[in-house]
Structure 1
Amino acid sequence: MKLNEPLLNSFELDGIEYDIDCSFDTVLDVFEVFADDLLNELEKFQVAVQIMTGQHITDALTFLTVWEYIDEHFIKTRKEKPVLDRNGNPMPVPKEEIDKVRLLDIEEDASDIYASFRMAYGINLFEEQGKMTWQEFSALLNGMPDNTPVARLIQIRDWKPKPHDPAEYKANMRKLQNKYRLDREEE
């Protein structure tokens, strides 16, 4: 995100112009696709590109290239490029590598995120669907003040006991961490 340039809603790649819907709710739809266990990895990328561009691209190399461009320039979900096999297919990434430190889940914590946007900024996220871009949403979420529900969730999940913490405080924080932990589905 650059404040001296307008937010883009299209890009050109290999001579083809792609309009892109980068509203935060569309990006959240893409995240749901990536969480879908019924689709293989290639299908997930293809569907993600279709959701964001409105174009059904059947050539794997093309939709992977388009996805990489979208991810690198618009969404920025990954810090490093995916490892590809000999056929150009993305290699699976172990879950423990993806979720090393997971303090927030957009879906599970949706009500706290909504409440925090209302409290901190007076923004109704339902009214912003199709309008607020992912970049705007991410910037506001990352800059959330400490007195909001989502900031408190992150503080609880990230808490580590310190030697000088009273035993009652430690017990309370462990209870809250258990209540709000994100790995419940793995039990």
Structure 2
Amino acid sequence: MLRLTDDLKRGYQLRDRVYKLNLAYDNVLRFYELLDDDHFSAIEKAQTAFEMFFGFAPGPDDEYVAGAFEAIAKYLSEDPYEDTSAGATDLAGNDFTPTKYYSFSQDAGAIYASFREQYGINLIEEQGKLQWDEFKALFAGLGPKTYFQRIVAIRQADPNDYEGKEQVELLEAQNRYALADNHSEEAVQAQLAGFADALKGWALS
């Protein structure tokens, strides 16, 4: 992740110029919100998002947009603790996709509170300053006692491991903190991959 991050922090080369990208965490989160907006086509999203990251709008026929977003999508999807060379396997050797029990959008309040609690960081004050890779590193380091991680633990818990009142309370909590179908990080990453594929098709058409 560090190599790719450092490359993008230096800038992204378009033709004969190197452009600085806006990779602040809040800008990335706004990009994810844009992906989820059904009022825009994939091409309209690409043009809007390009301006969000680069600071200017591309021309309607600029083929480099697809290449730029391929690099950005790869950067946003990078996980330093995940082996991207092959699919993850369980103890029996079977391939599987690890479930992510959180959503940056739906859990925004809990994440904000947890950053204040553990790091003393006010994410509102860090808008435009805290970079995405830094945000993700801090996010990954949130401890089990933080508000956010307690919510994740509730989602991960198996009700069959509990009985009576404790089971009822867990089920109520799981219902309260349940993720919307399109808010899980698996859904977001699938959406990002679909967006990148749509841009590739557009560039080749």
Fold shared by both chains (TM-score > 0.5):
yes
Q: CA deviation at 1:16?
A: 3.5
Query: Matches of 2:159 and 2:130 in 1, distance apart?
Result: 38
What TM-score results when the alignment is normalised by the length of structure 2?
0.70
Larger helix fraction of residues: 2
Change (3 A) 1:153 1:76: same
Q: Which residue of 1 aligns with 2:2?
A: 2
Q: Which residue of 1 aligns with 2:179?
A: 182
SS of the equivalent of 1:124 reads coil
What TM-score results when the alignment is normalised by the length of structure 1?
0.76
Can you list the C-alpha shifts for 1:35-63, whole angstroms capped at 9, x where unaligned?
11100122212211210111211335321
Query: Matches of 1:167 and 1:159 in 2, distance apart?
Result: 15
Q: Does 1:71 align with 2:68?
A: no
Q: Which residue of 2 aligns with 1:170?
A: 167
Which has the larger displacement, 45-54 or 131-140? 45-54
Query: Which residue type is aligned with residue 48 of structure 1?
Result: A
SS of the equivalent of 1:45 reads helix
Change (3 A) 1:133 1:47: same
Can you list the C-alpha shifts for 1:141-177, whole angstroms capped at 9, x where unaligned?
12210000110111111222344x3232222111101
Query: Matches of 1:45 and 1:101 in 2, distance apart?
Result: 28
Q: CA deviation at 1:70?
A: 1.5
Q: Which residue of 2 aligns with 1:83?
A: none
More contact order relative to length (CA 8 Å, sep ≥ 6): 2
Q: Which residue of 2 aligns with 1:52?
A: 53
Query: Which residue type is aligned with residue 178 of structure 1?
Result: N
Q: Does 1:61 align with 2:59?
A: no
Which structure 2 residue ranges, 5 or more long, are not aligned? 85-97, 183-205
Query: Would the aligned equivalents of 2:14 and 2:64 in 1 still touch at CA under 8 Å?
Result: no
Query: Which residue type is aligned with residue 173 of structure 2?
Result: L
CA RMSD of aligned residues (A): 2.9
Query: Would the aligned equivalents of 1:145 and 1:151 in 2 still touch at CA under 8 Å?
Result: yes
1:133 equivalent among 131, 134, 147 = 131
Query: Would the aligned equivalents of 2:110 and 2:147 in 1 still touch at CA under 8 Å?
Result: yes
Query: Matches of 1:15 and 1:160 in 2, distance apart?
Result: 55
Alignment: residue pair count: 165
